[in-house]
Structure 1
Amino acid sequence: MSTVQPVILGEMPSLSKLYVNAAAQAARRRLLGTHDAADLPAAGHEVRDVTVDVANLTAYQHLVGETASDVLPAGFLHALAFPVAMSVMNRDDFPLPLLGMIHLRNTVEQRAPVLFTDVLDIAASVAHLRGHRAGTQIDVIAEVRLSGASLPCWRGVSTYLAKGVFLPGIDKPTAPVQRQDFTAPDPTGVWQLGVDTGRAYAAVSGDFNPIHLSALSAKALGMRRSIAHGMYLASRALADVGPVRGDSFTWDVAFDAPVFLPSRVALEINTAQDAAGSWKRSDFVAWHPRTGRRHFSGSVSGL
Structure 2
Amino acid sequence: MTAPKTELTVPGAPASFDVTELAQLPKLGGLFAMGLAGSAGKRPKGAVRLPEVAYQVADVDTTGEAEHLAAYQRLLGEPSSEVLPAGFLHVLAFPLATAVMVRGDFPLPLLGMVHLKNTARVLRPVRLGEALTVRAWAQGARAHRRGVQVDLIAEVLVGRELAYQGVSTYLAKGFTAPDGAAPDGDAPREEWTAPLPTARWKLGSGTGRAYGAVSGDQNPIHTSSLGAKAFGFPRAIAHGMYTAARALAEVGPVRRGDTYEWTVEFFKPVLLPGTVDVAIRYAAEAVSTGTQGFVYEGWRSGKDSRHFRGTVTPL
Q: TM-score, normalized by length of structure 1?
A: 0.92
SS in 1 for 2:41: helix
State the shift of 1:301 in Å. 0.8
Question: How far 1:93 sits from its partner (Å)?
Answer: 1.0
Aligned to 2:278: 267
For 2:305, the equivalent position in structure 1 comes to: 293
Structure 2 residue 191 is the aligned partner of structure 1 residue 181: yes
Residue in 2 that maps onto 1:7: 20
Q: Is the 8 A contact 2:142 2:177 kept in 1?
A: no
Q: Which of 237, 245, 265 matches 1:254?
A: 265
Work out the CA distance in 2 between the residues paired with 1:297 and 1:263.
Answer: 18
Where does residue 170 of structure 2 map in the other structure? 160
Please state how far the C-alpha of 1:221 moved relative to its aligned partner: 2.6
Match of 1:17 in 2: 30
Assess, with a 3 A threshold, how the Cα gap between structure 1 residues 291 and 9 changes in structure 2: closer, same or farther. Answer: same
Separation in 2 of the partners of 1:173 and 1:138?
11
Q: SS where residue 25 of structure 1 aligns? A: helix
The answer to whether the 8 A contact 1:133-1:172 is kept is no
1:187-202 aligned at under 5 Å gives the runs 187-202=197-212
Q: Partners in 2 of 1:216 and 1:275 — Cα distance?
A: 49
Q: Does 1:228 align with 2:241?
A: no
**Which secondary structure does the structure 1 equivalent of 2:263 belong to?**
strand
Deviations 1:50-99 (A, max 9, x none): 13321110000000000100100110000000000000011111111111
Identity, % of aligned pairs?
Answer: 47
Q: Is the 8 A contact 1:286 1:297 kept in 2?
A: yes
* Equivalent residue number for residue 227 of structure 2: 217
C-alpha separation between the residues in 1 aligned to 2:162 and 2:45? 34
The answer to whether the 8 A contact 2:25-2:57 is kept is yes
Q: Distance in 2 between matches of 1:158 and 1:292?
A: 26
1:116 matched to 2:128? The reply is: yes
User: One-letter code of the match for 1:95?
Assistant: P
- Could you tell me whether the CA contact under 8 Å between 2:221 and 2:231 is conserved in 1? yes
Q: How does 1:273-284 map to 2 (within 5 A)?
A: 280-284=292-296
Q: Is the 8 A contact 1:259 1:295 kept in 2?
A: yes
The offset of 1:17, in angstroms, is 0.9
Cα distance change, pair 113–168 in 1 and its aligned pair in 2 (3 A):
closer
Matches of 2:187 and 2:49 in 1, distance apart? 27
After TM superposition, the score normalised by the length of structure 2 is 0.89
Asked whether 1:83 is paired with 2:117, we answer no
CA contact (8 A) 2:141 2:178 kept: no
Distance 2:182 2:168 in 1: 20
Conserved in 1, the CA contact under 8 Å of 2:47 and 2:176? no
Counterpart Cα distance in 2 of 1:72 and 1:83: 17
Question: CA, structure 1 residues 88+198, in 2 after alignment: closer, same or farther (shift >3 Å)?
Answer: same
Aligned mate of 1:151, from 135, 144, 161: 161
**In structure 1, how many angstroms separate the alpha carbons of the residues matched to 2:168 and 2:184?**
23
Distance 1:172 1:109, change over 3 A: closer
2:137·2:152 contact (CA, 8 Å) conserved in 1? yes
CA distance in 2, matches of 1:175, 1:78: 22
Tell me, yes or no, if the aligned pair for 1:265 and 1:286 is still in contact at 8 Å.
yes
- Aligned residue for 1:41? 51
The DSSP-based 3-state class of the residue aligned with 1:179 is coil
Deviation of the 1:178 alpha carbon: 3.2
Q: Which residue of 2 aligns with 1:101?
A: 113
Unaligned runs of 5+ in 2: 1-6, 9-15
For the 8 Å contact 1:104–1:161, the answer to whether it is kept is yes
Would you say the 8 A contact 2:298–2:306 is kept in 1?
yes
Answering whether residue 61 of structure 2 is matched by residue 51 of structure 1, we say: yes
Please report the RMSD computed on the Cα atoms of aligned residues, expressed in angstroms. 2.1
Partner Cα separation in structure 2 for residue 7 and residue 176 of structure 1: 33
Query: One-letter code of the match for 2:222?
Result: H
CA contact (8 A) 2:261 2:313 kept: yes
Secondary structure, counterpart of 1:153 in structure 2: strand
